[in-house]
Amino acid sequence: VECSSAAEALAAAGAGADIVLLDNLAPQELHAAAAQVKAVYPRVTVEASGGIVLGTLPQFLGPHIDVVSMGCLTHSAPALDFALRV
């Protein structure tokens, strides 16, 4: 479930979500929210997403973050033009 606050993430986990995606949170806010979720629901997977690029990735890594999604890997990837003849 995509969440934009700790309250939303806790509500989603409480309703049975297996994974909560904390989207577009500043690193400090993200880590605080993830810690709250893990304290109450330690088996819930916490994913960080939104505006994370390679240069800022270390700021989003932490003990309560299980997965990091980086859209820049796909939407900013250069195009490749190729052909295959069989």
Which domains does the chain show, CATH number per domain? 2-73 (3.20.20.70)
- In order along its 86 residues, the chain shows pLDDT tens digits of 999 999 999 999 999 999 999 999 999 999 999 999 999 999 999 999 998 988 999 999 999 999 999 877 677 667 778 888 88
pLDDT in tens, 49-69: 998 988 999 999 999 999 999
Give the list of residues 6+ apart from residue 19 with CB closer than 8 angstroms, or none: 1, 44, 45, 46, 47, 67
Given a contact cutoff of 8 angstroms between Cβ atoms, the answer to whether 69 and 42 are in contact is no
Neighbours of 43 (CB within 10 A): 7
DSSP 52: -
Query: Model-level pTM greater than 0.75?
Result: yes
Phi, then psi, of 64 in degrees rounded to 5: -105, 0
Q: What Å distances lie between residue 86 and 24, 81, 82, CA to CA?
A: 45, 17, 13
